[in-house]
Amino acid sequence: MSGRKTNFVSGFAAACALLALSGCASHKEAEKKQADASTYNTQLGISYLRQGDIPLAKDKLDRALQQNPENPQVHSARAMLFDRMGEPAQADKEFKEALRLAPNDPDVNNNYAVYLCQAGRATDGVKRFEAVARNALYRTPWVAFTNAGVCLRSAKRNPEAIRNFKQALSIRPNFAEAAYQLGDLQFQQGNLSDARAQVDSYLSSFEETPDLLFLGVRVARAQNDRVAAALYSRKLRLDFPSSAQAKALADLEHNPG
């Protein structure tokens, strides 16, 4: 009799264990579904934010937060939302929460750096950009160095900006945005020979872009080099006829003063 009782107790314990495992699995599955839904709504919210649809962006990001309050990407996206809504204190709070949850996440740090630069806090923004660039998890450090340069340029810290653009190009020589930013800054400073060398060096080695071709036009015109200006203009019109730069070229040619 005692043996039968023992078997009964053992079977009961096993059944309880199976139920516990089943409940645990169901709970984990529900958590995963919530996390996935949060990620999806975050992506939708960012997409609507880029389109300028603030109400829809907020609705999706509010849902994402409810579904997973521990998702740092949600807080980072909500920070950008509040910044767009003109609520800097709330934006800063959301960024700090995102960084608390994921202090080494390069995307969160990059977004915060952009925010800091736009808020006029260039020193703090550049520090974060440079930290992102040196983060082994970040796959495009040349972008972070370029962003740091743009931030410094907006703060009129041009020598530092130039160093960052050159750093970006030392890592990725074919990164057109860094090449354009460097050449354009040199042009704005009146360093025409350096700007021209930057444009020609890039275009001789890599695929041309409308930005660099239009910069070439402006530099060549400033140098009174009509032949070069005509060559840049022709390439811009033929290869990028619908670009904003081609339109700007038409305006420049019709209103040379």
Q: What is the pLDDT along the chain (257 residues), one digit of tens a residue?
A: 445 444 544 555 666 566 666 666 666 777 778 788 999 999 999 999 999 999 999 999 999 999 999 999 999 999 999 999 999 999 999 999 999 999 988 889 999 999 999 999 999 999 999 999 988 888 999 999 999 999 999 999 999 999 999 999 999 999 999 999 999 999 999 999 999 999 999 999 999 999 999 999 999 999 999 999 999 999 999 999 999 999 999 988 877 65
Is residue 191 within 8 Å of 172, Cβ to Cβ?
Answer: no
**Closest by CA position to 177, among listed 168, 186, 189:** 168
Helices 141-154 and 158-171 cross at an angle (nearest 10°) of 170
Pseudo-torsion of CA 18, 23, 25, 28, nearest 10°?
-160
Tell me, what's the pLDDT at 195? 98
What is the phi/psi pair of residue 206, to 5°?
Answer: -130, 175
Tell me, what's the pLDDT at 25? 62
Integer Cα distance of 133 and 142 in angstroms = 7
Helices 176-188 and 141-154 cross at an angle (nearest 10°) of 20
52: region left, alpha or beta (phi > 0 left; psi from -120 to 50 alpha)? left
- List % helix, strand, coil for the chain (3-state, nearest 5): 80, 0, 20
Tell me, what's the pLDDT at 23? 62
What is the phi/psi pair of residue 17, to 5°?
Answer: -60, -40
Q: Residue 75 is encoded by which pair of tokens?
A: 């807080």
Is residue 112 within 8 Å of 128, Cβ to Cβ?
Answer: yes
Instruction: Give how far Cα 109 sits from Cα of 14, 131, 133, 175, Å.
Output: 49, 8, 10, 22
In this structure, the number of other CB atoms found within 10 A of the CB of residue 230 comes to: 13
Residues 6+ apart with CB under 8 A from 237: 246, 249
Residues 6+ apart with CB under 8 A from 71: 35, 38, 39, 42, 64, 65, 101
